[in-house]
Amino acid sequence: MSERTILSVRDVQVHFRVKAKSRLPWAPSRTLKAVDGVSFDLKAGETLGVVGESGCGKSTLSRAILNLIPATHGEIVWMGEDLSGASTREWHDVRRDIQMIFQDPLASLDPRMTVGQIIAEPLREHRPGMSKDETMQRVRAMMEKVGLRDQMINRYAHEFSGGQCQRIGIARALVVEPKLVVCDEPVSALDVSIQAQIVNLLKSLQAEMGLALIFIAHDLAVVKHISDRVMVMYLGRVMELAGKQSLYDAPRHPYTRALLSAVPVPDPAIERRKVVQILSGDIPSPIDPPSGCVFRTRCPIAEARCAQEVPALRKLSDGAAAACLLA
C-alpha cells in the first residue's frame, strides 16, 4: 500500500427535499439528510471498509463519490483535483479511473447483451481508439482473470449463477484498469461460500493490479477479512474510523461495540459467554434526526450533554477517530 493519497472526501453532504405528507399544496417540504458531513482520505492500494445499518447512507455516499448522485455540499478531491465543480466531460474522464461494482449482480447487467459485449462496453466508451481485435483480446484476458471460461463469451447474463454474474460485473469494472473500485455490497446477495470466493478474488486482483477499494458491506466478518481500515456510519455520519485491528480489538464508539457484539464467533464456548449488546429502539428518521449526537437515543452510556453537543470526529491517541463525547 502506497502512502500517496488518491481520494479525499471533505465534509460531503447529500440532502434531499421531501414533500410533506399533506393534501395542502402549500405544506412545506422537509430535508432528508442521507449523508451529513462525511470526511476521509484513501491511499493508493488501500481498502476502506464501510459498515453500518441499512439506511445509514453507505450506498448514497458511494454514489456521491462518483457523482451518480450530486453532493449537496463538500469536496471530492481525486488525485489532487477538486471535482466539486467538474463538468460532465471531466467526470467522464475521471470515471475511467473510478469504477463501481453493484449490489445486485444480475440487475446490473443488460439482459440484451452478451458477456463479451458487457465487458467490452467500458472499453468502447473510455478507450475509443482501441481496435476490435484488441478489445476482444482484453475482454478474454479479463474473463480469465475473474474465473470465467472463454466459451462463455457469447452467453447472456440470465444463463449464469449469481456468483458468475458478479464475476462479470467485476470484469466489466476492471477491464479499463481503474485506480479505485467502489464495491457497493458486492457479496450481500450471494451464498456464504460464494461470498468468500468473490472476496478472495477481489483481494488477488487488488494485489495484481494495485487497486484501491472502498468496500461497503453489512457483514463485519467480511469487512475484517478484506479491509485495511474500517469506517462505521450511522444516520449519515461517521461514528468511528480506525485501522482494522484497532477497531476490532478495541472499538471506541458504543455503536461500533454493539455491532461487533452481534458478530458470531466460530468457537462455541466463546459464543456462549459472549454478551450481545442489543440496541433499544429503531434507527431514527434522517428527516428528523435527534439533536446533538444522532446515536444518543439508542446509546447505553448517553449523558445529558449528548443531546446538546454534536460530537466531531476527533483523533484519539492510537490514530483512530471517534465521534463520541465519551470516547
pLDDT (0 to 100) of residue 30: 86
Among 261, 271, 231, which Cα is nearest to 247's?
A: 231
pLDDT (0 to 100) of residue 278: 76
The x, y and z cell numbers of residue 272, run together, are 456462549
The answer to whether 168 and 109 have CB atoms below 8 angstroms apart is: yes
Strand partners, 322: 240, 314
Pairing of the two strands 98-101 and 180-184:
parallel
Among 61, 56, 80, 81, which Cα is nearest to 71's?
A: 61
Burial pattern 159-189, b for ≥16 Cβ within 10 A else e, equals ebebbbbbbbbbbbbbbbebbbbbbbbbbeb
User: What are the structural domains of the chain?
Assistant: 5-21+31-97+178-248 (3.40.50.300)
CA distances from 261 to 191, 254, 256, 282 (A): 23, 11, 9, 18
pLDDT 10s digit of each residue in the chain, 327 long?
678 999 999 999 999 988 877 666 767 788 899 999 999 999 999 999 999 988 899 999 999 999 999 999 999 999 999 998 888 888 988 989 999 999 888 888 999 999 999 999 999 999 988 999 999 999 999 999 999 999 999 999 999 998 999 999 999 999 999 999 999 999 887 888 888 899 999 999 999 999 999 999 988 888 998 999 999 999 999 999 999 999 998 899 999 999 988 777 776 776 677 777 778 878 888 888 999 999 999 998 889 999 999 999 998 877 789 999 987
Q: How far apart are CA 42 and CA 36, in angstroms?
A: 19
Rounded to 10 degrees, the C-alpha dihedral 202/207/210/212 comes to: 40
